[in-house]
Amino acid sequence: GVPLEITGLTKKYARSTDRYAVRDLSFRVEKGQVLGLLGPNGAGKTTTLRMLMGLIRPDEGEIRVFGHAIRPGAPVLSRVGAFVEGAGFLPHLSGRENLELYWRATGRPAGDARMEEALEIAGLGDALARAVRTYSQGMRQRLAIAQAMLGLPDLLILDEPTNGLDPPQIREMRDVMIRYAAGGRTVIVSSHLLSEVEQSCTHLVVMDRGQLVQAGPVAEITGEG
């Protein structure tokens, strides 16, 4: 199956409200795409991504990840990695030690080449050897993104990965996503800024007030190319 196919996805946070967080959302993502989920705050991006990760249950609709139906509470497919804000690290350990700890905790063998390749793509360089307590907020965020990439999941989901990053870090993040997808992998990334997704993404899904506004290749949506 394709990396992601969602059909008629609908979610309200309360039965009593007439406000839909996500309403009748359908789109698909093909292998190798970097799909930007673009929309202002409150558009429903995080709600959509949480449903994809199986963290919350849609009221209606279907999610298929590599052909498998996603259900809350079911184990997340090993082919999926996700970044959400607020990952915790042990401050006295180095970035690398934290990631190795996480790697072993997920039951994967030490010295696995996937981990080294993921660290290469993440591009953290010498900072990996420093204690996390010396990291800036932006560096912690980049370590959390590296953590989501560790097993080189075929589908990588990033919720607002550039929040709190400075402009050079935002440019590096763009290169990280492009390098990640170059291996035939697929990335879904949310953002509220077109300027952040137009150069890193191949395709866009534009949302507003829970609904799909536009979807297609980036050049079609920005009117270039």
Binding stretches for ligand ADP (CB under 6 A): 13, 21, 39, 41-47, 160
**Which residues, at least 6 apart from 182, have a Cβ–Cβ distance to it below 8 Å?**
none
CB of 22 to ligand ADP, least distance (A): 7
Q: Which is nearer to ligand ADP, 9 or 124 (CB)?
A: 9
Q: Which is nearer to ligand ADP, 41 or 126 (CB)?
A: 41
Q: Which is nearer to ligand ADP, 154 or 160 (CB)?
A: 160
Q: Which is nearer to ligand ADP, 13 or 74 (CB)?
A: 13
Q: Which is nearer to ligand ADP, 121 or 170 (CB)?
A: 170
- The burial of 165, by beta-carbon neighbours within 10 Å (0-12 exposed, 13-18 middle, 19 or more buried), is given as buried
Task: Sheet with 68-69: list strands edge to edge.
Answer: 22-29, 4-11, 60-65, 68-69
Query: Residue 13 CB: number of other CB atoms within 10 A?
Result: 12
CB of 132 to ligand ADP, least distance (A): 23
CB of 142 to ligand ADP, least distance (A): 18
CB of 186 to ligand ADP, least distance (A): 20
Q: Which residues pair with residue 28 across a beta bridge?
A: 5
Is the C-alpha dihedral spanning 143, 147, 148, 154 positive or negative? positive
Query: What is the Cα–Cα distance from 65 to 139, expressed in whole angstroms?
Result: 30
CB of 34 to ligand ADP, least distance (A): 18
